[in-house]
Structure 1
C-alpha cells in the first residue's frame, strides 16, 4: 500500500519525481492515451449511448479506476511516485505553491492563454498537446478568469452542501438531480441559476484552458483535482456509512435511462470493472 499526499506537503524531491514520471509517460506516448480515453467516455446527457464517466452515478468509481490506471503507469516509471491531491478549498489562488515553476507551472499569458512557465510549458519542448478540440499544440490555462467574468474556487461551505447529502444519487441519474451527493459534488446546475458551476465542475472552469473540455487530462492538474474528488468520496462514505451506491440494480427496460446508466454490479467500460469493485481502496492506497 502507498500514500497519496496533499500537494502542499510534497518535498522538492517528490515534486520532481512526480513531474519526471509524467514527462516520461508523455515521451513514451502513453500519456496521450489517457487523454483519448477520457474523451471517448465523456458522454453528456444530450448524446445517445452509455454514460459512464460523467453525468452519471459512475462518476466516482469510473474516475477512481481511471486514476488507478494512470497511477500504475506512473509507478511503472518510478515505483516511489503516487498521485498528490489538490485541496482547492485551501490552495485557492494562482499564487498557491502547486502553480510554481518547480511543479505545474502557472497561468497562461493573456493573448492566447499559453502556459509559459514550469515543466509543462510548450516552449520547454516536453509537452505538446496532441488531442484537443483546438489545433493549438500548447497547454493553456486562465486561472480564475481575471480578464473576463472572474470566478472563485469552491469554498468549504459550498463543498459542505454536497457532503451533507445523505443519498448517493437519485433518478434520473444524469446532470439534472438537485438531490444526491454525486451531482452535488460533480456540480451540474440548471441553466439560469446564479452560479452555473459548482464544486468539481467549477474547479475545471476556474483553471480554464485545456481543463474546460473532455480532453482536460491534457493539463496534469487534472489528476490532482480528481485525486481530491476521490478523497471527498471517501469522506462522504465515512460520514454516511449506510448510504450505498445507487442504482443498486439494473434499470428495467421501461426506464428512460435504461442502457445509459450503470448499476452497482454492471461493468464499466473500458475495463470491465463494476462500481462495486471500486467502493474502497484500503488495500491499494491511503490518503495522508
Structure 2
C-alpha cells in the first residue's frame, strides 16, 4: 500500500516528534552522513567533465526522487509511520512558522556566525554535528532570506511558469536551457543577481548557510524542499498527460552532451535505475 507525504504545516505534534526522532537516529547511526557524501559526489556542473546525473541535467528530477526514496526507506526502518513531509514555499513564507519551529527544524542562524541555536538539529544539542561538508564547520548554519542582500522565496506565479511548459526538457540539456519544465523548475536562470536563481535554486539561496552547494543535505530542510519539488513533477505529469522524460535517446557522438547526460532508458548512477522507472511511483507513495 502506498504511504502519504504530507504538507509540513499539517503535521500533528506527534508526527513532528516521530519525524525528528527518526532523523536523529539515522544521524546517530552514521547513515545520514552517507547521504551528504553522495550528494557532494554527484554535485557536477556544466563546466566539469564527465556525466551529470544529479544537477544541470534532465535527470535532476528522477535522481533526486530516488535519493529521497532512499532517505525515506532509512527513516521508515526506524519508524514505519514516518514519511518525508513537503514544504510548500509558495505558501509557508514566514521564518517563524513551519518548518522553522523549535519542535521541527529549528529557526534561523544567529547574526554572528549563522549558527542555528534552536530546535533538535542545533549543534549545541549534541545530536547534529556536521561531519561531511565543503568547509570545516561542525554546526548547522542558516541565513533565512539572506539578511545582507535579501531575496524572496519563489511565488506561485514563479512555479506556474515551470508547470505550464508542456515539454520536459530541451537541448542543450544543461543549465542554459530557457525552455522546458526541468530547468524552469531546477532554476538556472540568466543574468546577474537574484534573477539568476529561480524556483528550486532560489529556495536553496533563500535558506542560505549549509543549503548552499553540494553539502546542502546537512540541513534537514533539504528533504522537505525536494519533496515539494518532487510533487511538482507529479503535478506536471498530471497536467500534461502523455508527456515524458526527455531525451528519449542519448545524444550522438558529435553532440556536446554525448555521454554527459542520462537518456530515458539509460541507468542513473549510483543505483543503476533508469529515469523511465522513476516516472511512476504511485504504488510507493502519494501526496496529500
Secondary structure of 2:4's partner?
A: strand
Scaled by the length of structure 2, what TM-score is found? 0.98
Aligned to 1:98, what secondary structure does the other structure show? Answer: coil
SS in 2 for 1:56: coil
Give the superposition deviation at 1:195: 1.1
- Where does residue 109 of structure 1 map in the other structure? 110
8 Å CA contact retained: 2:58, 2:169: yes
* Aligned residue number for residue 127 of structure 2: 126
Residue equivalent to 1:278: 278
Aligned to 1:232: 232
Post-superposition shift, 1:97? 2.2
Partner of 2:203: 203
The answer for the alignment partner of 2:182 in structure 1 is 182
SS at match of 2:196: coil
| Structure 2 counterpart of 1:171 | 171
Pairs within 5 Å for 1:37-186: 37-146=38-147, 148-186=148-186
Q: Over the residues paired in the alignment, what is the CA RMSD in angstroms?
A: 0.8
1:116-148, Cα deviation, whole Å (9 max, x unpaired)? 0000000000000011111110000000012x1
CA contact (8 A) 2:151 2:194 kept: no
Structure 2: distance between partners of 1:14 and 1:37: 28
1:27 aligned to 2:50? no
CA drift of 1:193 comes to 6.6
SS in 1 for 2:46: coil
Deviation at 1:194, TM superposition (A): 6.0
- What TM-score, normalized to structure 1? 0.98
Q: Quote the offset at 1:96 in angstroms.
A: 1.8
SS at match of 1:3: strand
Unaligned stretches of 5+ residues in structure 1: none
CA distance in 2, matches of 1:176, 1:4: 32
In 2, Cα distance between the equivalents of 1:193 and 1:40? Answer: 27
Task: Report the Cα distance in structure 2 between the residues aligned to 1:97 and 1:256, rounded to whole angstroms.
Answer: 43
Q: CA deviation digits over 1:79-100, x for unaligned, max 9?
A: 1100100000000120222101
Structure 2: tracts of 5 or more residues without a match: none
Is the 2:36–2:216 contact (alpha carbons within 8 Å) kept by the matching residues of 1? Answer: yes
CA deviations on 1:29-76 (whole Å, 9 max, x unpaired) are 000000000011110001001000000000000000000000000001
C-alpha contact 2:133 2:215 (8 A) present in aligned 1: yes
1:253, distance to aligned residue in structure 2 (A): 1.0
Give the secondary-structure state (helix, strand or coil) at the position aligned to 2:286. strand
Q: SS at the partner of 2:168?
A: coil
Residue-pair matches, total: 287
Distance 2:112 2:133 in 1: 19
Tell me: CA distance 1:151–1:246, structure 2 relative to 1, closer, same or farther (3 Å).
same
1:243-262, aligned counterparts within 5 Å? 243-262=243-262
CA shift at 1:190, angstroms?
2.1
